[in-house]
Amino acid sequence: MSTTKWILPEGIEDILPEQAYWLEMKRREVIDTFIASGYGLVIPPLVEYTDSLVKRSSEDLNLQTFKFIDQETGKQLGLRADITSQISRIYSTYNDTNINRYCYFDHVVRTQNNDLKNSRIPIQAGAELIGNDKIENDAELVILMLNVLKKFTRKKIFLDLGHVGIFKKLMHQANLDKEQEKLIKNLIKSKSGSEIKSYLSGLDIDQSLKECFENFPKMHGSVKKIEKYLDQLKFFNKDIERDIKYMTELANIVYKSHADIEIKYDFCELKGFDYENDIIFSAYIENDSEEVAIGGKYDLNSSGLSGVGFSIDVRYLLKNQFLDKSKERLVNKSGIWVLENND
């Protein structure tokens, strides 16, 4: 047997027998949950033409996509960095079937990991609901995400709700260019109030808007905690007031199904790929600062059709041992893997 020790690229790792076993068990359990909730399982290809993979002009998705030339056609291909765009293509191609609920459990591949703890080959479990733009649909997806997360862990789950549309409406009102908008967005995501204030001081925009942007890092917590900042946001236009009311109603619906979940607002929550333009949400596990699931609402195409979906980072859950292994465990006995009860 060769003693050569091969080195895998940064952010690329194997899944060995014990973890592979738990992953397969959870995969089946999660897919059954999706199907029982009315979602059709799809398995999109790992490789597609890049014009369909990144067709929604998402800059960050484009940067995360490995690209190469098809030896058969000479066209540019990409390895998927996200499955939501593939669901959009599937719906647009086969929508005569009247199916508008899809689910998946598969790998994606990314050019870089956003954090040293993360993988460049995440395993995503997720669902998408296309059309029927109602609050009940948004609530359905958030509730389904929490139901699925509870299949993975018994630890306490925290839910953050945000709204990219509110940020974009304020940007539009401030009449800033793309570069200025991008810089302010990054400063808000970093929650650096002093840097935001310093940058805004050199811009020719209304003082009340400046104060609003400066307060964004403080807009995290319960409704009661950030109430005065919500009142400040409502001042700018009726659309923002309606958006905040929508968030409150959504939180109330979700809470009725998951009273054990702590729900907070986070207006600095501008993560994920930049095609989301409305409600966004993310979930965290107790004693860990990294989100394990993200989702949101997006425009499917120029016709105004929208979708809402989420993805759970299964590999991160697996890697950080959030899986519930309380009932049984896999033990290696003399080179043979045996399933044992923990009783």
Number of domains in the chain: 2
SS3 262: strand
User: In terms of DSSP bridges, do strands 101-107 and 40-41 run parallel, antiparallel, or are they unpaired?
Assistant: parallel
State residue 65's pLDDT score: 93
Domain co-membership, 301 together with 233: no
Residue 260 within a domain: yes
State residue 201's pLDDT score: 83
* Domain encompassing residue 105: 13-154+287-343
Domain co-membership, 256 together with 300: no
Question: Is the pLDDT higher at 77 or at 211?
Answer: 77
Tokens describing residue 3: 């003693």
Question: Is the pLDDT higher at 193 or at 49?
Answer: 49
Beta carbons within 8 Å of 330's beta carbon, 6+ residues apart: 17, 18, 21, 22, 337, 338, 339, 340
Residue 7 within a domain: no
% residues pLDDT > 90 (the chain): 38
Domain co-membership, 123 together with 74: yes
Which is nearest to 143 in space by CA: 50, 298, 33, 248?
A: 33
Domain co-membership, 276 together with 247: yes
- Of 245, 262, 284, the last residue of a domain is 284
**CA 123/CA 133 separation, integer angstroms:** 28
State residue 79's pLDDT score: 96
Domain co-membership, 162 together with 137: no
Domain co-membership, 145 together with 165: no
Residue 60 within a domain: yes
Which is nearest to 336 in space by CA: 20, 18, 22?
A: 18
Question: Is the pLDDT higher at 291 or at 143?
Answer: 143
Residue 63 within a domain: yes
Domain co-membership, 274 together with 129: no
- Summarised one tens digit per residue, pLDDT across range 288-341 is 888 899 999 988 765 667 889 999 999 888 877 655 555 556 677 776 766 666
Question: Is the pLDDT higher at 77 or at 220?
Answer: 77
Residue 57 within a domain: yes
- SS3 per residue for 267-310: CCCCCCCCCEEEEEEEEEECCCCCEEEEEEEEECCCCCCEEEEE
- Of 284, 316, 333, the last residue of a domain is 284
Domain co-membership, 148 together with 180: no
State residue 165's pLDDT score: 85
- Summarised one tens digit per residue, pLDDT across range 19-67 is 888 889 889 999 999 999 999 999 999 999 998 887 655 777 888 999 9
Helix or strand run (H / E) with residue 35: helix 17-36
Residue 2 within a domain: no
- Summarised one tens digit per residue, pLDDT across range 270-285 is 765 455 678 999 999 9
Domain co-membership, 186 together with 304: no
CATH of the domain at 253: 3.30.930.10
**CA 210/CA 197 separation, integer angstroms:** 8
Sign of CA dihedral 80, 83, 85, 91: positive
Residue 88 within a domain: yes
Task: Name the band, by pLDDT with cuts 50, 70 and 90, for residue 183.
Answer: confident
State residue 273's pLDDT score: 47
Domain co-membership, 168 together with 127: no
Overall average pLDDT of the 240-260 stretch:
92
- Of 241, 269, 284, the last residue of a domain is 284
- Summarised one tens digit per residue, pLDDT across range 81-140 is 999 989 988 988 887 656 789 999 999 999 987 665 578 999 999 999 998 778 999 999
Name the DSSP letter for residue 77: E
**CA 273/CA 15 separation, integer angstroms:** 27
Residue 243 within a domain: yes
**Helices in the chain by DSSP H: which ranges?**
17-36, 50-53, 59-63, 84-94, 135-152, 164-174, 178-189, 193-200, 207-215, 227-234, 238-257, 314-319
State residue 303's pLDDT score: 63
Domain co-membership, 252 together with 220: yes
Tokens describing residue 305: 């059709």
CB atoms within 10 A of CB 126: 29
State residue 117's pLDDT score: 58
Domain co-membership, 253 together with 269: yes
